[in-house]
Amino acid sequence: MEIVLSAVRPDSPDGRSALRAYAGELAARWPEKAPEPTWSEDFLADDPLALSPPSGVLVVAKEGERVVGCAGLRLEGADVPPGAGEIKRMWVDPSTRGKGLGRRLLAHLTDLAREAGLRRLVLDTAGDLTEARALYASEGFVETAPYNANPHAQHWFTRDLW
């Protein structure tokens, strides 16, 4: 079955489903840093519309009716460097990994960033998300100095678009 990418509001049913799955996976990976049952909901409540126009976009990947991935692009914000867009909330369902969906989501966000006239992309990620770090490096992102104070991040990346 084909996987379709579409922009949705974070507070839409598909947006909530994708972001809950993303937060749930982080909570499962980080039980000491992200204790459930409230961590996921608290995480989702933190600036829930930052990935809504005009400040950003959330792209959801669906296979039929099932949400199998998501990724966001923040176009503005207090900790987004000038002229940059920030990749946020990148997640692929474990059952769909290894099929190129993460790369496809990243390419789609890169196209959206170029269309918006941005000069570069930035992102942060946790040290134990080795798959994500490998993907970013393979797509031309280079490690850089921290640009924000995200308590869950140990690695920051940037990529020039032009």
Domain count, the chain: 1
pLDDT at 6: 97
Answering whether pTM is above 0.85, one says: yes
Q: Among residues 113, 65, 68, 66, which one has the least CA distance to residue 87?
A: 113
For 109-121, write each residue's pLDDT tens digit: 999 999 999 999 9
pLDDT at 29: 79
pLDDT at 49: 73
Task: Give the domain range for residue 23.
Answer: 3-160
In this predicted structure, the answer to whether residue 47 has a pLDDT above a threshold of 70 is no
In this predicted structure, the answer to whether residue 2 has a pLDDT above a threshold of 80 is yes
For 82-126, write each residue's pLDDT tens digit: 999 999 999 999 999 999 999 999 999 999 999 999 999 999 999
At 70, the pLDDT band (50, 70, 90 cuts) reads: very high
In this predicted structure, the answer to whether residue 73 has a pLDDT above a threshold of 90 is yes
In this predicted structure, the answer to whether residue 48 has a pLDDT above a threshold of 70 is no
pLDDT at 45: 66
CATH assignment at residue 130? 3.40.630.30
118-145 b/e (C-beta count within 10 Å ≥ 16 → b): bebbbbbbbeebeebbebbeeeebeebe
pLDDT at 36: 64
- 3 state DSSP class of 18: helix
> HEC states along 49-117?
CCCCCCCEEEEEEEECCEEEEEEEEECCCCCCCCCEEEEEEEEECHHHCCCCHHHHHHHHHHHHHHHCC
Q: Among residues 96, 109, 97, 98, which one has the least CA distance to residue 141?
A: 109
Alpha-carbon span 136 to 143, nearest angstrom: 9
Q: Among residues 87, 82, 80, which one has the least CA distance to residue 58?
A: 87
